[in-house]
């Protein structure tokens, strides 16, 4: 459980999300309270359609709650200007998607550089840091490979390098192994675990795979837009 007293890194208070309006509105999140502290590795579980992705999108400032408040380090994000939100996504969060979402026909290096382009980092610094990030995920030497020339596992590694290149605090991964076979999926998880230790990351990961969920230290279970279970599996030094 998060430590009481200090301000949590990410905090949802009574957050609801409705799709559509009026009577026809669909309630994807229903008064969710969730605090995540720095350094945690949270696994978000639940049946398909239970609101996991919706919750992740709100955590990553890609979407806004219909109701309730979301704070990053105590700052409510709902009032922030879109450009400030963009900077928040750029600097604080690294996204890893189920479908990798690399730019087509674009080299691994250029893909990894992209967040730094938007951060306004100069070309040489950009390239240096991107090479470093690729080396970190075990893809040194594959910088020039085009996205479509890489295997699924390699593409997800590029995506992880892209998520980490601007040194975010939080990695948000929505079913990162969903498109991979179980062995490759485990490799990716081992990589994330190693990076978490080396870089001191906070990870929030959606999965419905029990094996993959085993890597997390805390499980938050969703059902019909509500959190039905929230438990710490292993002790965290907090």
Partner 1 sequence: MTATLALRALARNKMRSSLTTLGVVIGVAAVVMMQALGAGATARVTGEIAGLGSNMLIVLPGGAGHGAFGSNTRGAPLFTLADVDAITREVGAVRHVAGVSSRSIRAVVAENNRSTTLSGVTTGFFAVRGWSVERGRLLTEDDDRQSQKNCVIGHTVADDLFGGQDPIGAELRLHDLGCRVVGLLETKGVSTFGQDQDDFVAMPHTTYARRIGGDDHVGTLMVSAVSEERTDEAKAAIESLMRQRRRIRADEDDDFTVRDLREIQNILSSVTGVLTTLLASVAAISLVVGGIGIMNIMLVSVTERTREIGVRLAIGARSSDILSQFLVEAIVLSAAGGLVGAALGAVGALVLSRVLATPFVFPLEAAALALTVSVAVGVVFGVFPARKAARLRPIEALRYE
Ligand X SMILES: Nc1ncnc2c1ncn2[C@@H]1O[C@H](COP(=O)(O)OP(=O)(O)O)[C@@H](O)[C@H]1O
Rule CB under 8 A: which residues touch partner 1?
Answer: 57, 60, 62-63, 82-83, 86-87, 89-91, 95, 97, 101, 103-106, 110, 114-115, 117-120, 162-163, 166
CB 110 within 8 A of CB 43: no
CB 189 within 8 A of CB 16: no
The one-character DSSP state at 105 is T
**How many residues lie near ligand X (CB under 6 A)?**
11
Which of 19, 128, 135, 194 is close enough to bind ligand X by CB under 6 A? 19
- Residue 95 CA to residue 28 CA, distance in Å, equals 21
Both structure tokens of 84:
């400030």
Which residue's structure tokens are 């691994």? 108
For residue 95, what are the contacts with CB-CB under 8 A and spacing of at least 6?
60, 89, 163, 171, 172, 173, 174
Both structure tokens of 162:
């892209």
Does residue number 51 form part of the binding site for ligand X (CB under 6 A)? yes
Q: Segment contacting ligand X (CB under 6 A): 34-42, 48-56, 65-73, 230-238?
A: 48-56
The binder of 87, among Mg ion, ligand X, partner 1, none, by C-beta within 5 to 8 A per type, is partner 1
Give least dist CB 37 to partner 1, A: 23
Give me the phi and psi of 188, to 5 degrees please.
-65, -40
Q: Segment contacting ligand X (CB under 6 A): 43-51, 84-92, 151-159, 212-220?
A: 43-51
The binding track of 1-40 with respect to Mg ion, each residue x by CB under 5 A or -, is ----------------------------------------
The footprint of Mg ion on residues 51-70 (CB under 5 A) is 53
Does residue number 53 form part of the binding site for ligand X (CB under 6 A)? yes
- Residue 200 CA to residue 64 CA, distance in Å, equals 27
Q: How many CA atoms lie within 13 A of 158 on its CB side?
A: 30
The three-class DSSP label of residue 115 is helix
Does residue number 60 form part of the binding site for ligand X (CB under 6 A)? no
The binder of 119, among partner 1, ligand X, Mg ion, none, by C-beta within 5 to 8 A per type, is partner 1
Nearer Cβ to ligand X (63/187):
63
Strand (E) or helix (H) holding 24: none
Nearer Cβ to ligand X (23/83):
23
Q: Which residues bind ligand X (CB under 6 A)?
A: 19, 26, 28, 46, 48-54
């Amino acid at each position: 459980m998060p430590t009481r007293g200090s301000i949590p890194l990410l905090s949802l208070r009574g957050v609801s999300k409705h799709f559509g309006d009026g009577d026809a509105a669909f309630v994807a999140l229903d008064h969710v309270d969730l605090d995540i502290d720095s350094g945690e590795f949270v696994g978000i579980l639940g049946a398909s359609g239970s609101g996991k992705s919706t919750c992740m999108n709100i955590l990553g400032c890609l979407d806004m709650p219909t109701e309730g408040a979301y704070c990053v380090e105590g700052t409510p994000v709902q009032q922030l200007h879109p450009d400030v939100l963009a900077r928040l996504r750029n600097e604080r969060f690294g996204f890893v998607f189920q479908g990798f979402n690399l730019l087509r026909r674009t080299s691994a290096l250029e893909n990894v550089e992209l967040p730094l382009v938007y951060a306004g980092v100069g070309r040489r610094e950009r390239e240096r840091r991107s090479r470093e990030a690729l080396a970190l995920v075990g893809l040194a030497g594959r910088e020039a490979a085009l996205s479509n020339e890489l295997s699924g596992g390699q593409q997800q590694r590029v995506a992880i390098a892209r998520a980490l290149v601007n040194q975010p605090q939080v990695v948000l991964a929505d079913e990162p192994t969903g498109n991979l076979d179980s062995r490759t999926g485990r490799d990716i998880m081992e990589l994330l675990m190693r990076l978490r230790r080396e870089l001191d990351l906070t990870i929030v990961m959606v999965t419905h795979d029990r094996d993959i969920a085993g890597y997390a230290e805390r499980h938050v279970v969703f059902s019909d837009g509500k959190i039905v279970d929230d438990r710490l599996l292993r002790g965290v030094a907090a």
